[in-house]
Amino acid sequence: MAAIKHRRTALERVEKFLSDTYFTDCNLRGRLFGDRCPPASLSYFQTPRRIPYEEAVVQEFGPARVGDSFGPTWETCWFKVELSIPLEWAGREVHFVWESDGEGMVWRNAQPVQGLTKEGEKTSYILTRSLKESEPHSLTLYVELACNGLFGAGKGSMIAPPDPDRRVTLSKAELVVFNRDVYELLVDLEILLDMAQLLGEENQRSFQALYTAKQMINVCDVTDPSTFPAARDLAAAIFSQRNGESQHTIHAMGHCHIDSAWLWPYEETIRKCARSWVTVVHLMEHNPELTFACSQAQQFEWVRSCYPGLYARIRDFVAKGQFIPVGGTWVEMDGNLPSGESMVRQFLQGQRFFQDQFGRICSEFWLPDTFGYSAQLPQLMRGCGIQRFLTQKLSWNLVNSFPHHTFFWEGIDGSQVLTHFPPGDSYGMNGRVEEILKTVKNNKDKGRVNHSAFLFGFGDGGGGPTQKMLDRMKRMSDTDGLPRVQISTPDQLFSVLEKESSQLCTWVGELLELHNGTYTTQSQIKKGNRECERILHDVEVFSTLAVAQDREFQYPASQLQQLWRLLLLNQFHDVLPGSCIQLVVEDALQYYTEIRRAGAQLQEEAVQSLCKDLLQPEGWSTQSTLVLNTLSWERTEVISRPGPDRAETLALVTVPSMGYALVQEPFVPPQLVTVWEQEDGSINMENGVIAVCLDTMGHVTSLQLLDSGRESIPDGCYANQFALFDDVPLYWDAWDVMDYHLETRKPVTTVLKPLKVTLGGGLRGSVRFSLQVGKSSTLTQEIILDAMCPYLRFQTQVKWKEAHKFLKVEFPVQVRSTSATYEIQFGHLQRPTHWNTSWDWARFEVWAHKWLDLSEHGFGVALLNDCKYGASAHRNVLSLSLLRAPKSPDSTADIGLHQFTYAVMPHQGSFQEAGVIQQAYNLNFPLHVVPASCAQCPGWSAFSVSSPAIVLETVKQAEDRPEAVVVRLYEAHGSTVTAWLQTSLPIQEAMLCDLLERPLEGGHLPLEKQGLRLSFTPFRVLSVLLLQSC
């Protein structure tokens, strides 16, 4: 009979034959499962804790039934499932089917064997593929059920705050006969149907696929499995028709992106890793071709500690080359906010873990999902043994579609890494024809390269690959009309891309233009990050110097590693950015508290050892105070110290670079601070460097450099102007600030307490005022001018109670420039101050670290801060983003008390010449003040650098050589310079090393009278290994 040629009816006929909704009484889908049998017994117990298997199985279990609900949210239920397989099922494939709204784990013989997640298409555990009479027909399983879904427990939407009373329902728990032949035929037909629908009517392969599927239905009698092989032969004939040699090759890799915390707490992530990875291992046992790329050393460490049996199996598959550690970092961190040194430690801790556990470091940086990409990352990657980079988030660009999928990314120092982001726009593919075709169609580098990555497996909340995904791709491995699909590895992909790279384009500078609200959301987390980065920096400096001065002192290497790992964990790309639920925020703040507590103790012990002959054993000396400086330049600053009656007193002190000095009395500055009030209530302050005039609302109406008389504030403008904006994004509440928020600007104008003098001058002058912000919030600020200080400091306290509002502070300045400069990790970059193009205005809200600057030739103004990251510079207005108030996924985000400091610094010349970089460090790294027992002691310096362009960022003990010190320096001005590093430590040998502390070939440095001669190009980071004399 001639084939029916009506395309629509033919397509719908195939669809209905596969449907799980229509005609299941007579179609193929309805035959997937055969006989069914309930458990012989089902019982459970519930606990609010996440407990180990050994503790769970000895609890008292009560009866449970299918249809029961369990909860509330974050509780855990353990089910004891006793099964009895009917004898008549001999020779059949038997599955245990479990469907619920929660995430489950099957335990058998005291080991985890299968993750169960309805959202991740894993609802069955294969008991046997062919039941033998010799196999036990009765067995007991345990199912650990988390009362949360794959994406937490959002109330009403995925990113809504968790519903605390959500319950999960057990909708199915049974034994079933699984008809493997029906399954294989279903997969065949699904692929053919997709080809028919997606290749289009202009493509003959579309019709070949459609008519083949129709023929298969014709020969297939769903009640007679003996007809299935003939139908499958028809499909095999289509799948075996091969591609031409020029066809695009897709490199498919199993993947399971697991957010280390997001819509669930850290503790739940540990179980997500186990549920996902045990399923991957089980798949590998039956699919030796499967590869699985897995990042984040922290997650490996969690599984190693909590699931040693599973971890041993993972290590076996790592050795076989199937389970592939990637990324090289401790977690998949945010790409914007961690400091340069924190990013180094992400790689240092991650690569050392992978080397120790698996005998190799990673050769590719793996960051599929992050909220930005610092332009310093290429240099840091290369310094850690990585020249390849894979990411996915570029596909999220809201305004400008990124022009490449495979390209060279060049950082601010000129370092380049080969970068690929999968053209299919997802790191959680399902192995469908649609995704395969999209990968090729989307590829913006056609003709330059002919290979793309394809990451398959459920992600974000875990899950990973499924057998069905693999089976789909096996059929598409080399089928005419579709791209060639091969199970591959990151190394295979990048190796072939490297061979094809001669025509690739280069992108210079930072990447991504989305999620700019994450520079400000959850400001307490951001403050904790900045503070703890400083604490660990200072502890390492003091401890290293203490070892050099006192050989009995033990460098706290293990404690520091633990604290660094806590800090690095909190830099995960949904924690530090603030896009997480309240439970995660609480965990993160607790970790910062632990770092502060332990860090303070370690610092005290190191200072006691370093300065033990100088310190006051008990109480404060009225005569002497020791001041320590952890930065690599001399500092002259006003300090506060307890006086004889315990009242705070001020002193001016000069402290050598990375060393200490006693306060010398009296030390009088060239000019004291003067403060005076005008008749209109405005207040003036001067210190011989700058002069400022403030109105009663705390606005800066004038800011002059006294040497030049140059005014910083335009006539009629107010600096230190607070402004409130409506802040309602399109969807991603904690993540996004939209451009239209700028249209809702409302200046803060309600005074609660007008400006008044709090310190009348001398070494310090200060004034204070309070404002009402919005409907319910208050802001109190103390504006401080210290003797000899080139900046005006704003100590700010906000009681924040707003909803969907955005608070900024603005500084209009009398400077004209088409670009502003922002500090990033180990350097800085420029961004436009205009909105000429879509690429320009997409950067209406950007990020910076400790400073941003707007300069014209000969003059500029810088904004410094101690814990803020969001910023902008449009035309002549510098803005610092202070607080947001999103309601998802944490309805309490940022509500509460906040304390932070920022400063404004006008300067002559360039920001480099004026020392803006050093002053921003000074603001973030306060001098340390301790009581001293002796009145006289010469100042002591451990390290100094001859050039102001060079910052000595890090001093620490080498990881593998206790007798060695690692120092890390970077060029901060954007210049080519030679500098001398001087040290008073007893050094007998010096050599350059990479960021993993491996000596560089030819990196030996001669010890000369002037110190160590180091050569820098713009923004170059150098690490030096110093071997101390015994």
Active site residues: 369
> Residue 969 CB: number of other CB atoms within 10 A?
25
CA distances, 570 to each of 169, 587, 683, 820 (Å): 33, 9, 43, 30
Asked whether the beta carbons of 160 and 149 are under 8 A apart, the reply is no
- Using DSSP's 3-state secondary structure scheme, residue 678 falls into coil
**Phi, psi at 135, each rounded to 5°:** -75, 150
CA distances from 1005 to 37, 154, 1015 (A): 75, 58, 11
Distance, in Å, from the CA atom of 831 to the CA atom of 839, rounded to the nearest integer, reads 10
Query: Can you give the three-state secondary structure of 496-545, one letter per residue?
Result: HHHHCHHHCCEEECCECCCCHHHHCCCHHHHHHHHHHHHHHHHHHHHHHH
Dist CA 682 CA 721 (whole Å):
15
Say which residues have a Cβ less than 8 Å from residue 909's Cβ, sequence separation at least 6.
858, 859
Can you name the residues that pair with 47 across neighbouring β-strands?
Answer: 76
Residue 105 near residue 112 (C-beta atoms within 8 A): yes
Q: Report how far residue 844's alpha carbon sits from residue 737's, in angstroms, rounded to the nearest whole number.
A: 9
Torsion sign, CA atoms 646, 652, 656, 658:
positive
Spatial separation of the C-alpha atoms in residues 858 and 771, rounded to whole Å: 36
Dihedral sign (CA 346, 349, 352, 355) = negative
Distance CA 189, CA 210 (A): 9
- Those residues with Cβ within 8 angstroms of residue 78's Cβ, 6 or more apart along the chain or in another chain: 44, 45, 46, 47, 56, 57, 59, 61, 142, 143, 144, 145
338-348 per-residue burial string, b: 16 or more CB within 10 A, e: under 16: bbbbbbbbbbb
Rounded CA-CA distance 6/209 in Å is 14
Task: Confirm if 570 and 591 have CB atoms less than 8 A apart.
Answer: yes
Task: Output the six-digit token pair for 276.
Answer: 């996902």
DSSP helix/strand/coil, 259: coil
Which has the closest alpha carbon to 516: 776, 742, 697, 359? Answer: 742
Q: How far apart are CA 443 and CA 445, in angstroms?
A: 6
**Of 361, 265, 366, 154, the residue nearest 569 (C-alpha):** 265
Phi, psi of 248 (to 5 degrees): -65, 140
Burial 877-916 (b: 16+ CB within 10 A, else e): bbbbbbbbbbbbbbbebbbeebebbbbbbbbeebbbebbb
Amino acid letter for position 204:
Q
Residue 870, phi then psi, degrees to nearest 5 = -75, 140
Contact 539, 902 (CB under 8 A): no
DSSP SS3 for 695: coil
Measured distance CA(578)–CA(821) in Å, rounded? 25
| Sign of the dihedral defined by the CA atoms of residues 69, 72, 74, 75, in that order | negative
Largest CA distance in the chain: 110
CB-based burial of residue 966 (10 Å sphere; 0-12 exposed, 13-18 middle, 19+ buried)?
buried
Neighbours of 164 (CB within 10 A): 11
